[in-house]
Structure 1
Amino acid sequence: MHEKGFIPHSFLQRHVNNGASTKFWSDTWVGNSPLKYQFPRLFRLALNKECTIRDCWNNGWAVDWSRPITTGTNANHLSTLYNQLATCSLNDSEDTWTWSLGTPTFTVKCTRGIVLGTNYLPFHGTIGFKTL
């Protein structure tokens, strides 16, 4: 549902631990949107647009660029990006999803209510029970 656009990125966020299953550019893990939308110019210069956070970490941030970024607007964007990432650290636990709607834990009931614009679904049918 997330990939099809039913659930906006702003409702799902990655909690990064080891960075192995979180996409550096495509998942929302720092800020309120994926980094590819926060820094589109840098995203265009990235060699590996599908990299994970772990792929971009080597005792410091090590993103592979198509050319050196040393001056100008791109250098300013890169500085801003690295400042945002300065508080991030990796550990040995697996990455997890955080849900920001309704309950803190993702539930189908809550999601269905959001997608349909209501918190409940009226039932207009008949249910037959063979035994109770």
Structure 2
Amino acid sequence: MRKVGNGGDTSFWKDVWVTNEPLKEAFPRLLSLSLNQEVKVAEVCFEEGERWRLGWRRELFEWKKESLLLLIGRLNGVVLRDNVDRWYWKPEKEGVFS
């Protein structure tokens, strides 16, 4: 899992960083409409105004807007910091790493 610092080295869609699965697996239809499937977290996260600026190939249908709201809900609480992104592993319940 990625621990996001400044977001410059973490793939928004492909890395496991905000939940226990990559966002591409949780929101495959949104990924398919993304203008940039290789985008880094730092490139779409802003402190002012519209917090998450994700580009779409076309306007989202109403039911995809519901998926977008779910995605934004998962992103609540994400704050970028000055330090670099890094990998970390949490042990399983038994205290071992998988």
TM-score (norm 1): 0.65
Gaps (5+ residues) in structure 2? none
* Counterpart for residue 28 of structure 2: 40
Which is bigger in relative contact order (C-alpha 8 A, separation at least 6)? 2
Identity value in percent? 36
Gaps (5+ residues) in structure 1? 1-12, 104-113, 115-132
TM-score (norm 2): 0.86
* Runs of 4+ off more than 2 Å: 100-103
- Residues of 2 paired with 1:90 and 1:39: CA distance? 22
Q: Secondary structure at the match of 1:99?
A: coil
1:54 to 2:42 alignment: yes
* Counterpart for residue 17 of structure 1: 5
Match of 2:84 among 94, 100, 106: 94
Larger radius of gyration: 1
How much is the aligned-residue C-alpha RMSD, in angstroms?
1.4
Q: How many residues align?
A: 91
